Amino acid sequence: MMVSKLCQDLLFTNFGSVGQCFVELNMFGDITLAGIIIFVLFIALIVRYNFPIQMILPVGIALSYVLWLMTSADLFLGVLILGLIVGGGILIIGLINYLNR
């Protein structure tokens, strides 16, 4: 297997280059695949530890935003927009319930 120049001269104190070398070697250079794996692990933690829905949505929105910034993939931008739409809908429903008291 060919090792890139970045991984040959790797400084372990530079975490950015360590992360980039890890993604390059283990994810075939596709950062989107790494983002999908992180998102799947997040969903597995939600299922395993039964997190409440009030905690899932904000953390999911923040995670999708960070993954979108990291990967520039349209998939995570779509998840972010969907999360913001769902969060806005929940906010409107809560506001309507508050006004109906």
pTM for this entry: 0.64
- Per-residue confidence in pLDDT tens, the chain, 101 aa: 566 666 777 777 777 777 777 777 776 767 777 788 888 888 888 888 888 877 888 888 988 898 888 878 888 899 899 999 999 999 999 999 999 87
CA–CA separation, 18 vs 3, rounded Å?
13
Residue ranges of domains in the chain: 30-99
Q: Which residues contact 88 (CB under 8 A, 6 or more apart)?
A: none
